[in-house]
């Protein structure tokens, strides 16, 4: 549970006007980002609020003067600037210096910022939680999103901070390692997660209610119990869901893991129903190893690997193709095109990372 919230300054708390030069405190016009004053008012009784900025021309005093002009100066108990810390985001030294001055551990702090590589990736590299303020609804610049939550409006920030419940990348990797996931399973899971995230993002662009981050983490953990379920002679998917529930992760995540199995499509009580469940299920059916393939190619590979289930695969194929038609139909993608905008059928190294 985060106890301290670090805020970036420019375009997170206060608008940046490119036409003005020099310290913001002296600009003829200053404005708070819409909704930030209300969000800070809600958050202040629950968290310690701190501002941490790469400002080089303004020290803490000038930053506070700019905040005072929009009535936000008293909301922050501390202000840290790159000018005084001697380091800039995303360098770990910046965050380490802030943590040292606050006297807290990384997991007690959540960073909120609009620049993905600077605020989000930098904070995560230092072990903090991170909320990406993304008002333009931009796509994550990496195949695997590192943020713990995303908000497009400051009004949504209090709820997001109170619900940082999904495992992050490091937690997910630790969960997979704890279940003895071998390299092949890890690479497959990463590829499924990347595909599910991209599909979810594009559906969200089309107006669907879908959480790309939940789809990503579901894809990353869909084969959580691949090895242990075999060793313990338990049902694959159910054991993984049980592990996630026992650790207190969201039920939505556990259900994705539980419903990704091909045969659940034939069971009305277990078939995927939410977009996140459907996308992970489908991504798993077009990723062979770490390569995007057609459903037919994936089924042939599975049939050769598990000949004892060949008849069941035949029964499931129409349901998988129906799911494919639903997803691709909503996206407007032709069925014979493997994965639009992909550099080929093989995901590149950055997408698997």
pLDDT digits (tens, 9 = 90+) for 123-163: 999 999 999 999 999 999 999 999 999 999 999 999 999 99
For CA atoms 243, 156, 112, 210, the dihedral sign is positive
SS3 346: strand
- Do 43 and 110 form a contact (C-beta atoms < 8 A)? no
Mean pLDDT of the chain: 93
Q: Once rounded to an integer, what is the mean pLDDT over residues 298-313?
A: 90
Q: Once rounded to an integer, what is the mean pLDDT over residues 27-31?
A: 97
The torsion angle over the Cα atoms of residues 26, 32, 38 and 44, rounded to 10 degrees, is -50
DSSP class of 140: P
> What is each CA distance from 264 to 79, 219, 278, in whole angstroms?
52, 16, 11
Q: Once rounded to an integer, what is the mean pLDDT over residues 188-195?
A: 97
What is the domain class of 169-352 according to CATH? mainly alpha
Q: Domain-by-domain residue ranges, the chain? A: 4-162, 169-352
Cα 62 to Cα 258: distance, rounded to the nearest angstrom? 53
Which tens digits make up the pLDDT trace of 69-97? 999 999 999 999 999 999 999 999 999 99
Interhelix angle 238-246/251-258, nearest 10 degrees:
170
**Lowest-confidence range among 2-6, 65-69, 194-198?**
2-6
pTM across the whole model: 0.92
Q: Once rounded to an integer, what is the mean pLDDT over residues 9-17?
A: 97
Q: Once rounded to an integer, what is the mean pLDDT over residues 31-52?
A: 97
pLDDT at 56: 85
Q: Once rounded to an integer, what is the mean pLDDT over residues 176-190?
A: 96
Cα 350 to Cα 88: distance, rounded to the nearest angstrom? 25
SS3 50: strand
Which tens digits make up the pLDDT trace of 225-249? 999 988 888 888 999 999 999 999 9
Dig out the tokens for 17 from the structure: 């006007």
The domain covering 4-162 belongs, at the CATH homologous superfamily level, to HAD superfamily/HAD-like (3.40.50.1000)
Where residue 336 falls among pLDDT bands split at 50, 70, 90?
Answer: low
In percent, the amount of the chain with pLDDT more than 70 equals 94
pLDDT at 340: 64
Which tens digits make up the pLDDT trace of 255-276? 999 999 999 999 999 999 999 9
């Amino acid at each position: 549970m985060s106890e301290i919230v670090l805020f970036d300054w420019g375009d997170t708390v206060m608008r940046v006007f490119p036409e003005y030069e020099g310290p913001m405190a002296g600009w003829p016009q200053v404005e708070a980002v819409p909704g930030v004053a209300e969000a800070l008012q809600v958050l202040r009784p629950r968290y310690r609020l701190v501002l941490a900025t790469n400002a080089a021309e303004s020290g803490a005093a000038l930053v506070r003067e700019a905040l005072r002009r929009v009535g936000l100066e008293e909301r922050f108990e501390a202000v840290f600037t790159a000018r005084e810390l001697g380091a800039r985001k995303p360098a770990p030294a910046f965050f380490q210096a802030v943590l040292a001055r606050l006297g807290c551990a990384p997991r007690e702090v959540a960073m909120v910022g609009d620049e993905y590589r600077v605020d989000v990736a930098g904070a995560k590299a230092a072990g903090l939680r991170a909320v990406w303020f993304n008002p333009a609804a931009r796509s994550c610049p990496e195949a695997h999103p590192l943020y713990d939550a995303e908000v497009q409006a400051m009004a949504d920030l209090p709820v997001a901070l109170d619900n940082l419940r999904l495992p992050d990348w490091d937690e997910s990797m630790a969960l997979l390692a704890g279940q003895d996931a071998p390299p092949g399973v890890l690479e497959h899971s990463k590829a499924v997660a990347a595909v599910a995230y991209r599909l979810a993002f594009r559906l969200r662009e089309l107006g669907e209610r879908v959480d790309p981050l939940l789809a990503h983490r579901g894809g990353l953990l869909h084969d959580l119990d691949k090895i242990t379920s075999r060793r313990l002679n338990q049902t694959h998917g159910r054991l993984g869901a049980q592990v996630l529930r026992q650790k207190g992760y969201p039920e939505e995540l556990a259900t994705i893991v539980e419903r990704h199995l091909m045969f659940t499509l034939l069971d009305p009580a277990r078939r995927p129903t939410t977009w996140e469940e459907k996308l992970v299920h489908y991504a798993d059916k077009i990723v062979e190893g770490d390569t995007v393939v057609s459903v037919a190619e994936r089924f042939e590979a599975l049939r050769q690997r598990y000949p004892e289930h060949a008849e069941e695969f035949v029964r499931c194929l129409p349901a998988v193709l129906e799911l494919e038609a639903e997803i691709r139909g909503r996206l407007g993608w032709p069925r014979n095109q493997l994965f639009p905008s992909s550099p080929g059928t093989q995901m590149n190294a950055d997408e698997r990372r």
